[in-house]
Structure 1
Amino acid sequence: MSFKIAIIGAGSVGFTKKLFTDILCVPEFKDVEFALTDLSEHNLGMIKAILDRIVEANGLPTKVTATTDRRKALEGARYVISCVRVGGLEAYADDIRIPLKYGIDQCVGDTICAGGILYGQRNIPVILDFCKDIREVADTNAKFLNYANPMAMNTWAAIEYGKVDTVGLCHGVQHGAEQIAEVLGAKSRHELDYVCSGINHQTWFIDLRLNGRKIGKDELIAAFEAHPVYSQQEKLRIDVLKRFGVYSTESNGHLSEYLPWYRKRPEEITRWIDMSDWIHGETGGYLRYSTETRNWFETEYPQFLEAASKPIDPAKRSNEHASHILEALETNRVYRGHFNVRNDGVITNLPQDAIIESPGFVDRFGINMAAGITLPEACAATCIASINVQRMSVHAAISGDIDLLKLAVLHDPLVGAVSTPEEVWQMVDEMVVAQAAWLPQYAHAVPAAKERLSKSAVKTREWAGAARRNVRSIDELRAEKAALKQTG
């Protein structure tokens, strides 16, 4: 088989390498062309060198090109994969820093909450540019696979306004299932069957079966509380399981910022999180991790390049959906996964226009969702609160309506639990001014926002957050890695 796959944001080096090797684990795909595109020539050069080394080491005819000209990369592409981070770490730092001045403590800030909403405002205009290029120069039936956060908002915009065949992809369901299989003592994750449904990052395991035996709430709670690691790392997640009756896909830190109850006061944050790793609730944890990872990769690049000389091992193919979807569409080998698509009746008690994440099957006929799923009422209520925020956020990003943007932020569950309307109005002004370079749709609103900020009487504070760690240096990372290696 010979077709073209374009990867936008291919400078996300580690993730691009994973997608590339996954796809080449499919024997029929050795003649595929990969077209890499990114704003950074430097990052493109690094990833192309790694992928070229993989192709050479495995004796493959696979073609790899790299260009900063996005339209050239998209010409004739059958599949377009996006893993972009608009504004990079500079804008992301403001997503965390500015809300902290108003008492809003986020762990990740890339889905909803103040940071996730502004992240969506930066992404959506760019997503629509991608869609325009796909419609104009890609293959007539091109499929857009979006990996970029905020997943629901980006996918919503691409489908409703971009008019492109789009599916959103995430790995939260797989990671949650791996945890459940482990605590239940499964020898393999394949022993666990499940139905997981909801919206991205708020998806719920509503039916669990281990070797065909149905797993109930009490058994699952007992298994998590008995686990020596997860009982400490997932305290908030276990508490939600006890109250809602079902387990959430999302990590302790992520889940905490989508709900109004666990991060509203500093003492509550420290009660529910765990500092053993960023993902369990640390203030700005993913920002710190992303900064350290970027620094580490730049310094250790020769080792990454050397590792690319090893043969591809199909047994190590990851559970990221992309390669499996392409394999099913092209070979008709059926794949079952969890996909982000427009609801349209898939989940009975969520809005029809929402982007939901739910089970589906892929074959030559496309992605076919399992329809008629009804969520437990508490899960649906929690999802609907976020969906309403997502809808307003998407419409604000499209229209450039700063008042609608402020209403979206005001209705966010955690923001509403922490901040007053006056604080929200000023915070959004401050974030729009700080990120104006990536928010062209709000250019008309920036002068008035600056004027309001110069006269505002709303007090703020300089606060690092309830549980902040400093970014580690390369030397510190090396020392920690060496220590872990010594201890086994």
Structure 2
Amino acid sequence: MGGERLKLVVIGAGSLAFTPELLAEMAISEVFKGVEIGLVDIDEEKLRVMEKVASRVINETRAEISVEVSVDRRELLKNADFVVITIAVGGVKGIETDVKVAEKYGIYHTVADTVGPAGFSRALRHIPPIVEICKDIERICPKAVVFNESNPLTAICRAVRKTTKVNIVGSCTGVRAPRHLISRVFGCKPEDVRFISAGINHLTWILEAYVNGRSIYSEFKRRMKDIRDEALKYGKPFNAYVSVELMETFGLYPVQGDAHVAEFFPYFLRPETGYGAKYGLKLFPGDTIYSEGWRNRVWDMVLGWAEGRYPIKELIERRRGVTEHSFVYELMGIILNGRTQFFDGVNIPNNGCISGLPDEAIVEIPAVVGPFGFRGLNVGRLPKGIETILQYRIAQQELTVEAALTGDREIALQALSLDPMVPTLSIAKSMLDDYIEAHKQFLPQFQK
């Protein structure tokens, strides 16, 4: 590949949700034996903590890996074979500001990192620096495969593809959610489940589903309705009211869970639903990785591993349950082993895989992965209602991308005004001004 030894660079390595798991996976995997890992972050405190975690992992597992750290990505990108981007511009305070500005106008979010006014604002902050990162990659290690884990994933990947020749792939932790849901509904093991889904990130729909080779999608939909009805009748807990209602309306079941899916539609987070309470939705930060409780708990674990208070053995054993599990290692392993393997979902240009959507649109689809990269599965045409919402969202995100790249306020206003969660044009105008003012240090393209 890029050099004599395999090299992986993580940009945004202070990420609590990614780096500890990465280090544990690399340490015990034969595939990554001898790998050079470069950890990059502008937060020196978190970077040094991750360096200490890495040192303990290497010493206690006797792993044949090496780790370098730097606040300057250009120092570490040379000869990189893989690059993972997992940055958060403005950190948790940034997304909290996104949410608070929207709440000022009576607009509430559940996850706030993909769509809605908060997702729009996040895109404006994240797209320019990630494009700059990818321009450095294009210059220093142009053959590297780049995995993006930062949200809004779709808009970021589209912006990079639009402005560079970098081979970027969006990797989402939720692409295998249907396996676990279907296995619970049918009482089987997740590995007994196979499914086909397609859409855009966080709005992907199950097209086919099988358990031990038997088609079960119609039965699955019936069972989900029955579980929902029983929960309503007896007051049992149920966390898929939104998904089941959308399934009844559009004919297919959405993959990524109610908290994500609800933000794509104007119906579920309105005053008449108690801002989602009717559907059992929790408003931001809810149970997301942005909640203070989650951050404090995981930061304590990471500090414990760095300082020696907690055993590294615990990190190794829990590596796929510390936070949200990433599939980047699995995808890299497939490429490195020279295998060809079907994978449940990656975010890549459509190129005709979903009929009726633009070729250049970033879609989340199953793919064959191998030394050649990623080849999307042609799934044909989706039901008209679903096709329509995807077309709308893709067009709106294209405006968001253009606004983020150019700093054009007119285009930014159009993109924000077209979000279904925004009730009036006057609110869109005021909200845009508020976002640009609140995040002015991260939005130089709008300070003209």
TM-score (norm 2): 0.91
* Structure-1 residue corresponding to 2:165: 163
Q: Map 1:250-265 to 2 at 5 A.
A: 250-265=256-271
* Structure-2 residue corresponding to 1:439: 443
Which of 240, 252, 263 aligns to 1:246? It is 252
Counterpart Cα distance in 1 of 2:225 and 2:375 = 33
Say whether 1:349 aligns with 2:356. yes
CA contact 2:185–2:223 (8 Å) conserved in 1 = no
CA contact 2:13–2:41 (8 Å) conserved in 1 = yes
Aligned-partner SS, 1:233: coil
* Structure-2 residue corresponding to 1:195: 196
Counterpart Cα distance in 2 of 1:343 and 1:432 = 32
Per the alignment, do residues 145 and 269 of structure 1 end up closer, same or farther by CA in structure 2, a change over 3 Å counting?
A: same
* Structure-1 residue corresponding to 2:328: 322
* Structure-2 residue corresponding to 1:336: 342
Aligned-partner SS, 1:76: coil
Per the alignment, do residues 349 and 22 of structure 1 end up closer, same or farther by CA in structure 2, a change over 3 Å counting?
A: farther
Aligned-partner SS, 1:17: helix
CA displacement at 1:137 relative to structure 2: 1.6
Counterpart Cα distance in 2 of 1:411 and 1:217 = 34
Report the structure, 1 or 2, having the larger helix content: 1
* Structure-2 residue corresponding to 1:430: 434
Counterpart Cα distance in 2 of 1:232 and 1:303 = 35
Aligned-partner SS, 1:128: helix
Which of 139, 158, 172 aligns to 2:174? It is 172
CA displacement at 1:177 relative to structure 2: 2.4
* Structure-2 residue corresponding to 1:479: none
Aligned-partner SS, 2:98: helix
Amino acid in the other structure paired with 1:48? E
Per the alignment, do residues 361 and 300 of structure 1 end up closer, same or farther by CA in structure 2, a change over 3 Å counting?
A: closer
Which structure 1 residue ranges, 5 or more long, are not aligned? 275-279, 445-488
Counterpart Cα distance in 2 of 1:342 and 1:261 = 29
The alignment's C-alpha RMSD in Å is 2.3
Say whether 1:379 aligns with 2:386. yes
Which structure 2 residue ranges, 5 or more long, are not aligned? none
Q: Map 1:204-219 to 2 at 5 A.
A: 204-217=205-218, 219=220
Counterpart Cα distance in 1 of 2:17 and 2:288 = 17
Amino acid in the other structure paired with 2:412? L
Amino acid in the other structure paired with 1:147? E
* Structure-2 residue corresponding to 1:470: none
CA displacement at 1:377 relative to structure 2: 1.8
CA contact 2:285–2:291 (8 Å) conserved in 1 = no
After superposition, the C-alpha distances for 1:218-274 in whole angstroms (9 at most, x for unaligned) are 542424643788962211111112222211112211111111111132535344332
CA displacement at 1:292 relative to structure 2: 2.8
Q: Map 1:103-182 to 2 at 5 A.
A: 103-138=106-141, 140-182=142-184
* Structure-2 residue corresponding to 1:234: 240
Amino acid in the other structure paired with 2:99? I
CA displacement at 1:404 relative to structure 2: 0.6
Per the alignment, do residues 327 and 270 of structure 1 end up closer, same or farther by CA in structure 2, a change over 3 Å counting?
A: closer
Counterpart Cα distance in 2 of 1:390 and 1:14 = 26
* Structure-2 residue corresponding to 1:184: 186
Per the alignment, do residues 294 and 226 of structure 1 end up closer, same or farther by CA in structure 2, a change over 3 Å counting?
A: closer
Per the alignment, do residues 39 and 265 of structure 1 end up closer, same or farther by CA in structure 2, a change over 3 Å counting?
A: same
Per the alignment, do residues 321 and 288 of structure 1 end up closer, same or farther by CA in structure 2, a change over 3 Å counting?
A: closer
After superposition, the C-alpha distances for 1:293-335 in whole angstroms (9 at most, x for unaligned) are 3333444545344232458459969963211111111111233
Greater shift in the superposed pair: 287-296 or 321-330? 287-296
Greater shift in the superposed pair: 93-102 or 366-375? 366-375
CA displacement at 1:19 relative to structure 2: 2.5
Q: Give % identity.
A: 27
* Structure-1 residue corresponding to 2:402: 395
CA contact 2:26–2:65 (8 Å) conserved in 1 = no
Counterpart Cα distance in 1 of 2:368 and 2:71 = 35
Counterpart Cα distance in 1 of 2:296 and 2:47 = 16
Counterpart Cα distance in 2 of 1:259 and 1:410 = 14
CA contact 2:14–2:47 (8 Å) conserved in 1 = yes
Counterpart Cα distance in 1 of 2:52 and 2:389 = 45
After superposition, the C-alpha distances for 1:411-466 in whole angstroms (9 at most, x for unaligned) are 11222xxx21111111111111111110011011xxxxxxxxxxxxxxxxxxxxxx
Counterpart Cα distance in 2 of 1:231 and 1:299 = 30
Aligned-partner SS, 2:382: coil
